[in-house]
Amino acid sequence: MEKDTLENIDSMQETLRKISQEMSATALFVVKYCQKKNFLVRIGDRLVSDLQTVAQGHVKNLGDLMQQYRDRTMRDIQINVYHVLDDMYHVREDLNLEGMAYAAGAGLNTTKKCLDGTRREILKDITHWITSRDVNAPRILWLHGQAGRGKSAIAHTIGSLIQDMGAPGACFCFAHDRQSERREEKILTTIARDLADREPAFRRALSNVVSNNLALKTTCDVVQQWKQFILQPLSKISGEIVGNVVVIIDALDESGPDTSRRDILRLLTSADAAGLPTNFRILLTSRPLPDIVRAMAAATHIKATSLDDIPWELVERDIKLFVSKGLEGLPGIGVEEVQNIVNKSDGLFEWARVACEFIRPSKAGATPKERYDDLMALEAEEGRTLLDTTYRTILEAGIPRMGTPFKRYRSVMCQVVMTLEPLPMAALNCMREKYPNEQDHYDINLILEFMSPVLGGVVDRSSPVQPLHASFYDFLMDPLRSGDYSIDASDAKDMAFTTLRILRDNLRFNICELESSYLANTEVSDLSERINKKIPPHLSYSCQFWAQHLEKTEFDLELGGQVRDIVGSEKIMFWMEILSLLGRVGKGVSALACVRRWLLVGNGCISAFDDT
């Protein structure tokens, strides 16, 4: 019925056009009649009778057309009522999706899109694959290439196009600095919920699957998630979704160790994935890591496209446009300089971005042209790529490899890379104030202000501090690539001390000052505002991750005393209250398990805590 009514609404335009024409004809008839009134009286009744016939014809035509319009208006009202009732039904159904895990912040980021006018050919190829009506078209496209080729930019551009078109789809992104969230356990629940938000038929089918089944909603088993949250709803609504459904999985290689994506790869390469509906597409991006390459090679339903194989003339054109835009208006940087940067980029968009950041005025004492000359003098060193050499040059330009500045660099960057969930600079500074060594109590901007080309959250202080590209994280973690600037993240003692001290000093009863303890969190209308005001980011972080930092630290009696001060006192209840307010009660169980394991490793020191 809905399709029929929508077609009738579209045809109302034609009815209104005919009404307009008939009214114009009637008006013209009336005007002519008035002009010839005396003449008509003279020629007699026959002509008057003909005029009455004409007038009656106009009246009948208008009446018929108006009735058509009223009929279609009623259908329009019926459609609106249908949609209102449908929306009300969906509101009721949405309640049935509550409790399904959702990876916040893992979705589309339009700031990562390709620069307009770039990557036209590859975007066209992907769009053609998405819209193809060939029933034998591969259901999955694997876009791969070395770090810095622009895979994520392409993925987010496609995601943005899908969103702008209003088509059903979902975008899920892995990230190095979000591995602590175990996004691999939430990937399919998140995708399913996003599809439910975009496609009513899928939402109804998914709601029927998970209704009154809390165990299924909260399962971490991605195999169950795949069968129950993706395959089963799709089978129930076969043929109901108009157009193609596009799911984007970006940066699978950043999920963590091989084991974190083993099940995901197994599902994507399975016969079930090959048999997905003909209008279902999955765009997957990653670096060509060995485990991913092995999995993809054997799957005939997966189309592999390598950005490393894009013709140089196309890459050169796109990077030239990117660099020209990035360095536009800088003195001493003209067409020749732009072309030299393009030639040196070796086809890496990430290197081109870092080069632009390096050349732009960022500190006193050097003009853009002088910094360009420094950049052009760089050569890839033995065992290092040009991108690595550029990273080293940026660090060397701001951080001397000696004395206090270098010690502070290592301390600050260790804090940045060991933070299990990226935090803005203000929160990182609050944590600094609790470091066990007073010499570490300083504003981290002393170091980070020189690192804006490679770190986010330095210029925009409201954003979290994190590497702008995964390749910089890899660079820091590999001593063979970064040399003296490498970061050892094996010892989390400072972070463990800091988070425990934050808990000791900030935990208190009823921290959000709720009027009643008998109300559920969902019944507190301004809970979000209270949380933002009373639980600052550094406290929220400490509540969620102190035990994970503790477990990565060797047993220490002083640390053990701090643990006892929290776990063996009323503060443990205040800590659980905050986790409840944050919707992270599950972290409490895993945190206590971490503490137990840490204490057991204490080689007999556990006896000192028997009374806890």
Within a domain: 193: yes
In terms of domains, do 186 and 287 share one? Answer: yes
Residue 175: which residues within 8 A CB-CB, separation 6 or more?
106, 183, 251, 254, 470
- 3-55 pLDDT, tens digit per residue, is 444 444 455 556 556 656 656 665 555 555 444 444 333 333 433 445 566 56
Cβ pair 349, 322 in contact under 8 A: yes
Cβ pair 497, 559 in contact under 8 A: yes
In terms of domains, do 300 and 425 share one? Answer: no
- What pairing do the DSSP bridges indicate for beta strands 455-456 and 466-467? antiparallel
Within a domain: 386: no
Task: Tell me what pLDDT residue 393 has.
Answer: 86
Domain boundary among 451, 485, 519: 485
- 360-369 pLDDT, tens digit per residue, is 876 667 889 9
For residue 415, pLDDT beyond 90: yes
Span 424-444, mean pLDDT? 94
In terms of domains, do 133 and 263 share one? Answer: yes
Percent of all residues in the chain with a pLDDT value above 70, rounded to a whole number: 82
For residue 457, pLDDT beyond 80: yes
In terms of domains, do 597 and 500 share one? Answer: yes
Tell me the C-alpha distance between 547 and 595, whole Å. Answer: 6
In terms of domains, do 54 and 167 share one? Answer: no
Cβ pair 144, 307 in contact under 8 A: yes
**Residue 16's closest CA among 59, 54, 72, 58?**
72
In terms of domains, do 187 and 284 share one? Answer: yes
Task: Tell me what pLDDT residue 286 has.
Answer: 94
Helix 585-600 to helix 557-567 angle (10° resolution) is 140
Tell me the C-alpha distance between 340 and 336, whole Å. Answer: 6
**Residue 351's closest CA among 329, 376, 383?**
376
Tell me the C-alpha distance between 182 and 99, whole Å. Answer: 17
Tell me the C-alpha distance between 214 and 95, whole Å. Answer: 12
- 210-266 pLDDT, tens digit per residue, is 887 777 878 888 999 999 999 999 998 877 777 889 999 999 999 988 898 999 999
Tell me the C-alpha distance between 391 and 475, whole Å. Answer: 8
In terms of domains, do 434 and 507 share one? Answer: no
In sequence order, what are the beta bridge partners of 173? 250
For residue 610, pLDDT beyond 80: no
Q: Across the chain, which distance is largest between two alpha carbons, in Å?
A: 127
Query: Which helix (H) or strand (E) element contains residue 142?
Result: strand 140-144
In terms of domains, do 366 and 448 share one? Answer: no
Q: Report DSSP letters for 534-566, one per residue.
A: HS-HHHHHHHHHHHHHHHTS---HHHHHHHHHH
Domain boundary among 280, 310, 340: 310
For residue 491, pLDDT beyond 80: yes
- Whose structure tokens read 């195999």? 223
For residue 578, pLDDT beyond 70: yes
pTM exceeds cut of 0.75: no
For residue 311, pLDDT beyond 80: yes
Q: Which amino acid is at 208?
A: N
Q: 570 falls in which pLDDT band (50, 70, 90)?
A: very high
Task: Tell me what pLDDT residue 100 has.
Answer: 83
Within a domain: 369: yes
Q: Which two tokens stand for residue 257?
A: 């160790």
Within a domain: 392: no
Q: 479 falls in which pLDDT band (50, 70, 90)?
A: very high
Query: Which helix (H) or strand (E) element contains residue 585?
Result: helix 585-600
In terms of domains, do 266 and 412 share one? Answer: no
Task: Tell me what pLDDT residue 5 has.
Answer: 44
For residue 579, pLDDT beyond 50: yes
Q: Which two tokens stand for residue 102?
A: 């959702």
- What pairing do the DSSP bridges indicate for beta strands 466-467 and 280-286? unpaired
Cβ pair 66, 19 in contact under 8 A: yes
Within a domain: 315: no
Q: Which amino acid is at 354?
A: V
In terms of domains, do 245 and 167 share one? Answer: yes
- 326-367 pLDDT, tens digit per residue, is 999 899 899 999 999 999 888 888 889 888 988 887 666 788
CA 257 from centre of chain: 21
Phi/psi of residue 250, each to 5°?
Answer: -105, 140
In terms of domains, do 142 and 193 share one? Answer: yes
Percent of all residues in the chain with a pLDDT value above 90, rounded to a whole number: 44
Residue 223: which residues within 8 A CB-CB, separation 6 or more?
263, 267
313, 314, 317, 323: CA torsion to nearest 10: -110
Q: Report DSSP letters for 363-407, one per residue.
A: STT--HHHHHHHHHT--PPTT--HHHHHHHHHHHHHS-SSHHHHH
Domain boundary among 97, 126, 147: 97
Domain that holds residue 152: 110-310
In sequence order, what are the beta bridge partners of 529? none
Task: Tell me what pLDDT residue 93 has.
Answer: 45
Within a domain: 536: yes
**Residue 161's closest CA among 133, 127, 128, 188?**
127
Number of domains the chain contains? 5
- 503-529 pLDDT, tens digit per residue, is 999 999 999 988 887 778 888 888 889
In terms of domains, do 154 and 302 share one? Answer: yes
Task: Tell me what pLDDT residue 199 has.
Answer: 87
What 3-state class would DSSP assign to 509?
coil
Within a domain: 206: yes
- 250-286 pLDDT, tens digit per residue, is 999 999 888 989 999 999 999 999 999 999 999 999 9
Which strands sit side by side in the sheet containing 280-286, from one edge to the other? 169-173, 245-250, 280-286, 140-144, 302-306
- Which CATH number does the domain housing residue 184 bear? 3.40.50.300
Count of helix runs (H) and strand runs (E) in the chain: 29, 7
Q: Report DSSP letters for 226-267, one per residue.
A: IIIIIIHHHHHTTTTS-S-EEEEEE-GGGGSSHHHHHHHHHH
Within a domain: 388: no
Task: Tell me what pLDDT residue 305 has.
Answer: 94
Task: Tell me what pLDDT residue 2 has.
Answer: 44
